[in-house]
Amino acid sequence: MFELSSDHEDFRRTVRDFAEQEIAPHVHRWDREHHFPADLIPKMGEMGLFGLVVPEEFGGHAGDGGEFTYLCVAIEELGRVDQSMGITLEAGVGLGINPILTYGTQEQKARWLPDLAAGRALAGFGLTEPDCGSDASGTKTKAELVDGQWVVNGAKAFITNSGTEITSLVTATARTGTRENGKPEISAIMIPSGTPGFTVEAPYDKLGWNISDTHGLNFDNVRVPEENLLGARGKGYAQFLATLDDGRIAIAALALGCIQRMLEECTRYANERMAFGKPIGVNQGVSFQVADLAVMAENARLLTYRAAWLKDELDAGRRSHTEVKQAASIAKLYTSEAAVTSTRIATQIFGGNGFMEEYPVARFYRDSKILEIGEGTSEVQRMLIARGLGLPA
């Protein structure tokens, strides 16, 4: 059965100390100014956070197993202090590094992974488009092979880590032809930053995740070498589906960090806030809600780390993709919806103070909603879970 080892817990304390010292003192200002702290990424790299799943030969720290669980621990602890920094790590590894690590050639890995694993660079993954979200098979971006080069035209939307000063590339899905059954052939193509015709749009004015870097992208006759194809031609759609399975577990860890923080904030506030001469925690209307937060945190932790353990077991050849896929969707669905509920409860417990930006519950309230949307909406998770149970598609 799965459980976190003493090494995992030691690692948790290390990441928590880093988050409390390097992020917490600045997070209110960063959020207000929509500032992405690029100088923090190399520090996270020095701690090994971006290289947790990367083999040593490519500059990472993957070793004796359990790497994905370590990653989830790191995401949870960063997310407990700030959800934006949690998603920066989650996307940097899950969407930036993992596709290259899983599907790249030796040459591609050697070129890109060392800097990404060290935190000297970030990479994005361009899947979503302005008119194409959950229906990723409806990709309109096209790539045509001309004289040994891919010529890419199209647009992507809501792409994390795509426009920072240290972003080195974006991997984008594109139509590269049509299959015999008439459906589009979708491939993944690596597009380095600064390539002529590759334009990063202005950052979005978002409801939450204000510290996270998020942009729309445009490709106007962007030309990259034929060898920038990532994985086999026509396998881009299958690759992204597999990538999202892992990403859903990581998002569950991010949501868990949110729930845990709300539990801590509400427990403290219910003991300190006085009303009618007593701490508000003596009132069952408050104490019962704090108890509910504790149940949510416990359930979220069990679901998340069971899914992470299954992922590590899969990597060791002891579990099946089907088990991991189902566990990932269940963990993502429960934790993301519980995170949104936890911030609503916290805001209510804090009363008027919960509506003030000086209190962290307000920021977490804004940040939480996207957890039910990114890397597969709640509706998509329910569909996948139902299919996993054998119900008709």
Structure tokens at 226: 């034929």
- If you search the block for the tokens 């993709």, which residue do you land on? 321
**Nearest alpha-carbon partner for 87 in 371, 379, 380:** 371
DSSP state of 200: E
**Packing angle, helices 360-368 and 236-272, rounded to 10:** 150
- Long-range CB contact pairs, 242-246, < 8 A, 24+: 242/102, 242/321, 243/94, 243/95, 243/98, 243/99, 243/102, 243/125, 244/375, 244/376, 245/321, 245/324, 245/325, 245/328, 246/68, 246/94, 246/98, 246/311, 246/328
Element (H, E) at 250: helix 236-272
- 313 has catalytic annotation: no
Q: Which residues contact 40 (CB under 8 A, 6 or more apart)?
A: 22, 23, 85
Active-site residue among 22, 76, 375, 379?
375
In the chain, where do the E strands start and end?
A: 122-126, 142-146, 149-160, 167-178, 184-192, 198-200, 214-225, 229-230, 274-275, 278-279
Q: Are 337 and 382 in contact (CB under 8 A)?
A: no
- For residues 150-184, one letter each, b for 16 or more C-beta atoms within 10 angstroms of the residue's C-beta and e for the rest, the string is bbbbbbbbbbbbbbbebbbbbbbbbbbeeeeeeeb
C-alpha distances (whole Å) from 352 to each of 122, 265, 358 are 39, 15, 11
Return the number of other C-beta atoms located less than 10 Å from residue 35's C-beta.
Answer: 12
Three-class DSSP category at 206: coil
* Residues classed as catalytic: 375
